[in-house]
Structure 1
Amino acid sequence: MRDKPFRSVLKTISWRLTGTVDTIVIAYLITHELKWALSIGAIEVFTKLILYYFHERIWDRINIGRIKPPDYQI
């Protein structure tokens, strides 16, 4: 069973929010500048949203570790 693209979009957004907060915190700890930390987080969120979406769609086509559902049910 394959995920629909919309599910991949939702997973992409939820993961990016988590990752972006992490990036902002790390950038702030390194730079001690909130402006820089937010700027880095803003750039990172867009690039990684796109990368993750395509990564997710590629993995949806790979059957490693998946169990094929039965073709019929009684």
Structure 2
Amino acid sequence: MERPKRTMVKAIIWNLNGLLVMSLVGYAMTGSAGIGGVMAVVNTAIGLSLYVLYERVWSRISWGRVNA
């Protein structure tokens, strides 16, 4: 099983990457760095919350695991 701290670190790194990509996409779509940034922050906040929940649920499911 994975510890909650590891899940959180993975989620933060993943979402920092997403924040950068969404900022660039938002800027490209709107032509505004401010609007693109707001879109990215909202998306990251929602995505981070859902990702942590998703990982914690899957950490409790034993299906597909191999005991080493």
On whether the aligned pair clears a TM of 0.5, the verdict is: yes
Alignment root-mean-square deviation, CA:
1.0
Q: Which residue of 2 aligns with 1:58?
A: 57
Question: TM-score under structure 2 normalisation?
Answer: 0.91
Q: How many residues align?
A: 68
Answer with 1 or 2: which has the greater Rg: 1
Q: Give the distance between the partners of 2:8 and 2:14, measured in 1 at CA.
A: 10
Q: Give the distance between the partners of 2:61 and 2:25, measured in 1 at CA.
A: 33
Q: Give the distance between the partners of 2:34 and 2:40, measured in 1 at CA.
A: 10
Q: Which residue of 2 aligns with 1:22?
A: 21
Higher relative contact order (CA 8 A, sep 6+): 1
Structure 1 stretches of 4+ with a deviation exceeding 2 A read none
Task: Output aligned runs, 1:1-74, within 5 Å.
Answer: 2-69=1-68
Amino-acid identity (%):
28
Gaps of 5+ in 2: none
Q: Give the distance between the partners of 2:64 and 2:26, measured in 1 at CA.
A: 36
Shift in Å, 1:20: 1.1
